[in-house]
Every structure is written in structure tokens, then in C-alpha cells.
Amino acid sequence: MTDKKIRLGIIGLGAEGGMYAQFIDQGMVPNMQIGAICDTLPEKKGRADELGVPFYEDYIELLESGDVDAVVTTVPHYLHPEMGIAALQRGIHALVEKPVGVYTKQAQELIDFAATKPDLTFGVFFNQRTNPLYIDLKNLIQSGEFGALRHTSWIITTWWRPQGYYNQSEWRATWGGEGGGVLVNQAPHQLDLWQWMCGVPKKCFAKLAYGYRRDIAVEDEVNAIVDFGNGATGHFMTCTHDMIGTDRLEMLFDKGKIVVDGSQKVTITRLSDAEQAISENMGMEEVKLLFTGQLDTKKLMSVEEKSYESVWGYQHATVMQNFAANILDGTPLIAPGPDGINGVRLANAMHLSSWTGQEVDM
Amino acid sequence: MTDKKIRLGIIGLGAEGGMYAQFIDQGMVPNMQIGAICDTLPEKKGRADELGVPFYEDYIELLESGDVDAVVTTVPHYLHPEMGIAALQRGIHALVEKPVGVYTKQAQELIDFAATKPDLTFGVFFNQRTNPLYIDLKNLIQSGEFGALRHTSWIITTWWRPQGYYNQSEWRATWGGEGGGVLVNQAPHQLDLWQWMCGVPKKCFAKLAYGYRRDIAVEDEVNAIVDFGNGATGHFMTCTHDMIGTDRLEMLFDKGKIVVDGSQKVTITRLSDAEQAISENMGMEEVKLLFTGQLDTKKLMSVEEKSYESVWGYQHATVMQNFAANILDGTPLIAPGPDGINGVRLANAMHLSSWTGQEVDM
């Protein structure tokens, strides 16, 4: 079965869907071909004709056409769970765009339904999980070398969106159309990566600014503190109004620290022993030397710096290839669908906290 | 009167007071001389003898001796307001160590009393305000070139303190002795600089960890979100258990961003216009180019990098010299005493928020 190509139905041929079609058409996803395309706008048929694939205006017709083995849902967020369920009901594998739902209940319905179809593949499009930088860090943290997390902070404001972006379509940045702002549209990637590496928070306090520096109804800035329940804490800041943009992730562990700048440069500092052991074993004489600047603590740590390059399209193509491989030969999914709920739950908790002014127990 | 030297009484000859005595003795404070020294430990008299100055075990005796024009209070924090008031009552100028009090009420009493003595100089020992880096930034922000603050984040974890430091004395890191941990002892400098540059927050939510990674009763970690009341927000993180240490301050404004690394390296990014104007004037064609990576937004900004060196003792000596100059010729104070209350109030608010689990209105 490994020579077979998965025939993908693309539901929604907007900016994202069009890009995926291009990647597949250019052969960037070797185990996949375009099976059919669906869009509610009839004029999109021209592009389907160019690609030589069937076109449907109704996604149910596409699902029942026999033209596709799987679908990807590049449609407004609210529709992801409904379309995912409709596909799985008809024996079609589902690769659901992030967020897997706008609110937790909706996402849970899809996840629960998918659990009743264990033979079908259900993935979520977290392309940043294929970034070698984050894969390396995930493995490093999971190895246990650094011990327990103490604190993490992510300032991710490289999601600059000018007003014209929001004016592009009626549903963009509305409660009815998107169900939120930067938390639902841009930041889900980091909300996923953060929890993937650091664990799932237990409590959250957030201040959100709605239409702060953009003429939109939803949030264009988020400032949150999370509590991982085991003593570890985190801070998350994102917005769409910082044109200069910061992307800085810091993770402090019992045995060292990891700092990521611009999702490209990683600085890993390893302590010679657990920090608490160093602290407890340091005698009074050394403490005195420390305070007169005569103790070189740099001797007790080593620093490793790594740089990563990003290749346009690599991440998205890799998610699709991995999804197809899971269908074809059971290769483990990089981003299983059920993982999608963590980011939705955290985004929901941040909204709720901002509305009530209270810390939210998750 | 400008040739005169102010005779300083040093109340408390511990690590800090001993350092100040050394700076003055070495001539680093040209308009000051040591008038007398006070310590409750009789064995400290030896050092006073070395310096050739009178020694007192009772600070009231020192105040009434006629040996001093001014005092500095290098004593446990709770005593700062009481000693400050006692000095001013006796016509002695008062340079109070930070924090100006442990809690707001106590600090306010001192400030109110000082207001009844307008002819006496009342300063607080915020030596970091003399750091040329922060003076330059304070002036730059005050010039209005950057417009309004939008967000600021300060991760300041370079206050590493091993367990031995806490075990040095009985009163250290206790509620009765210090009235708090990193917020009262180490971070007041940054709490002051932050508010000096960014303004005074109106609300605060904080999570504090008490005895988290040190065997102490008070907080060794703080994670807080503040609200400046005008839309701007801030995040502040500090702890004494990060041996690697981060000192990274970020300030985002309407017209640019300032990032400070390690209190030494400053990166100033200026936008060609206010961010909101750039956002609103960007047409659909440009938005499309932006999303396909073809719009170079770097053309709309310029970056300036500056480095500063720090000289040991310079900051402390400068505060003392400025304090003496204010007494001698009215030179404006770098750190007037009443400014000390902002840091105390913010630290108090953080403690209160952590105890109640609620955002605190300041």
C-alpha cells in the first residue's frame, strides 16, 4: 500500500488552501495528490480546472464523491469541527486546520467522535511542530536532562497585522466569524508548542485588550500568567500591533535554561549540578566571594548556541506528508487531532479570565 | 557654602554601610566626609577608629552629637522610616536606604513628615537611577519621541542568592525581619526604574512563590501583570533561584521599541511613522505582498544599538554626591524620598494580590 498516494480533498480554496494545493501540485508532498477541491465561490472552479481535478461547491458532495481519501479543512474556524465530523462519518480521514474548534466543547465533540473511528486518521495542522528547532527542544526536555520546569515566558509579537488585513473579509476578527482575535487566529501555534514542550497549565489569569490598536471587535493583545500546578509558572504575551515584533521564549529548569530568539537561535545553558544542590553546597566563604564579585559562577555552567534555518513550505508539506504516511503505513502522527484541544482550552481560559477579571481554574 | 563637605553619619556598618564608608574614605564622594558611625555591635568601633571618626551604639546619640549634618540608614528595612523621621526631627538631612519602608503606610508617614521639613533634604538610595543607560532612556521616553507606552516586560532574575546568603543572619528573609523576600530586598531597584520610565501602574495581579526553591519564609519568585490604566500593560518577573540570570527589559511604544539586555546593551527601533498610521495607510496590495513575504517592513524602521559599561562604586558614590550637592547648593535630587513609595506600593500590591488571588486596584 506504500506506493499509493492519498487523494486529498481541499475544502476552502482561500489563501491557505491555495497554498497547500500549490505545494502538492509541485510535488512537495510525495505521498499525496489533490483528489478534488471545494469552495462556496463558483469562480474558484478555474483553479481546479488548471489543476485538473473535480470541483464542488458543496463539501458534502465532495465527501461523498469517491474522489478523495482524506480532506483538509481550510475554512473559517467555527466550521472545523462540523466538517471534521462529517468527513469521519463518511470514512474520510480528516486533517483539521488549527484551531481544532473555537471553543472547548465544540473541539471535544470532534475529538470524541474521532475516538469512535480508530481506523481513520485525525490530525490537526500544527505545522510548527515540524520545525526542527522545536522538535529538538521537545526531545531535550523530554529526556529529563534539565529536570523540572520552574518558569517559562514567551513574548510572541511577530504576528503584526495591519488594518487592511482585518478589512479583507467580513468574518475576519469578529466574534461571529472567528470567535476571537490573535488567540484564535495567529497564536494557536505558540499556544500548542508551549504546552507541547512545557506541559498543560492548571490555572490562568489574563488581561486581553479588545480593539486596542486595531478597529476590530476581538482581542489584538494578550498578556497572561499561567500556573502549571506544580510550582512552575509561565507568562505569555502576544499582539498584532507590534510591527517590530519580538519572538523570545525562555524556559528555566532545575538544571539549566533554554532561550529561543526569533524561533531561530537557541541558547542552552547547562548547570554543572542541579541549581538547588549548588545553592545548598555553597559555603559562607564562597557566598562572600560572590558578593564581592570574586566568585566566577560561569565555571559552574556551560553554554551551547545553535541556529536553525527555516525553509518556506517545508513545515506545511511535512505535516501533510506525515498525515498521509499515518494513513498509509501507521507512521506516528506529529500532531494528533486530540492534541488540538489544549490550545483551544487555554485560549478559552484566557478569554474567560479577561471577562471575569479572575484567575481561571482549568 | 560650596566648598563645605557634608558630614555623613552612617547608621549601620554592615556590608552596605561599610562599602559607603570605604567610598567616602577613598575620596569618591568629593563633597562628603564621614562625620560619625553608629552600630549596635560594639565591635564595629574598631573600624570607626581606623577611619578616625566618633562611634555610637545608639543612633539617637549620633543624631544629637553635633558630629553629622546628614545620615544614611543602612539598617534592616523596617527601621528606615523611624530613623528617617528621627533624623529630620533633629534637623538632620536623611538619605534613606531602599526600600523607603516595608509597607505603604509606614513609608507614607515618613514622606508626610519630611514634607513638613522643606528645608531638609530627604533622598532615597536608588543608585541605579544614576546608571547613564537608564538616565538616557528616561530622557528619551520623556521627550515624547516614542509616543505612548503600549506594553513593557521586565524579566530580572540576575538576583541569584544561594541558601548560605539567607543563612547569614536571623532577620534575613523573614516576615518579621525583612517583611518580604526578593520584592523587598533585591527587586526594589527595578520596581523603581520601571515606574520611573514607564509610569505608575493602576492595577496589579501577581503570583508569588514563598520558599519555592530556598528554605525561607518569604517569596523567592514573583510573576506579575500590571495595568497602567490607559491601555498599556506590563509584565514583571523576578526570582533569586536563577543562577544563569536574565535581565531583559522590553518597552513597546506607539512609535518604536526599546529593548535592554543585561542593563548594558540597548536596542532602539524607531518607526518611520506612528504604528497605527502605518497600519491604516497600508493598502490591500501591500497587505498581499506582506503575506507572501515580498514587503520589506524593515524599510519602515531604523535600529540603533548602544552599549554601556558599568563602573564599580560609581552609582553609589554618585547618589551620595548628588544628595550632598542638594544640601549644599540645591542641585535637584536624582532620587527624592517621596519617589520611594511607588516601589513599596507596587511590592505591597504584589504581595496582597498573591494572598487574595485577586487583581489589586492601586
- pLDDT of B1 reads 45
User: Which residue in B235, B234, B261 sits closest to B149, CA to CA?
Assistant: B234
**What interhelical angle do B340-356 and B188-198 show, nearest 10?**
110
Task: Point out the residue among B160, B167, B233 whose CB comes nearest to the CB of A223.
Answer: B233
Distance CA A94, CA A83 (A): 9
The Cα-based distances of A248 to A251, A350, B29 in angstroms read 10, 20, 41
pLDDT digits (tens, 9 = 90+) for B241-271: 999 999 999 999 999 999 999 999 999 999 9
- Test A237 with B153 for CB contact under 8 angstroms: yes
Distance CA B22, CA B49 (A): 13
**What interhelical angle do A132-142 and A188-198 show, nearest 10?**
30
Cell numbers standing for residue B217: 519564609
- Cβ–Cβ < 8 Å for A50, A25: no
- B48: confidence class by pLDDT, cuts 50, 70, 90: very high
- pLDDT of B157 reads 98
- List the single residue in A with minimal CA-CA distance to B283: A164
Model pTM greater than 0.80? yes
Count of CB atoms situated within 10 Å of the CB of B144 = 10
| pLDDT tens, per residue, chain A with 362 residues | 457 899 999 999 998 999 999 999 999 999 999 999 999 999 999 999 999 999 999 999 999 999 999 999 999 999 999 999 999 999 999 999 999 999 999 999 999 999 999 999 999 999 999 999 999 999 999 999 999 999 999 999 999 999 999 998 888 899 998 999 999 999 999 999 999 999 999 999 999 999 999 999 999 999 999 999 999 999 999 999 999 999 999 999 999 999 999 999 999 999 999 999 999 999 888 888 887 778 888 899 999 999 998 777 899 999 999 999 999 999 999 999 999 999 999 999 999 999 999 999 99
pLDDT digits (tens, 9 = 90+) for A45-75: 999 999 999 999 999 999 999 999 999 999 9
Min Cα distance A310 → chain B (Å) is: 13
- Cβ–Cβ < 8 Å for A316, A17: no
- Test B297 with A243 for CB contact under 8 angstroms: yes
Amino acid found at A348: N
Chain B positions in Cβ-Cβ contact with residue A302 (cut-off 8 Å)? none
- Test B243 with A163 for CB contact under 8 angstroms: no
Say if B296 is an interface residue toward chain A (CB within 8 Å): no
User: Which residue in B95, B108, B106, B86 sits closest to B338, CA to CA?
Assistant: B108
Distance CA B307, CA A177 (A): 48
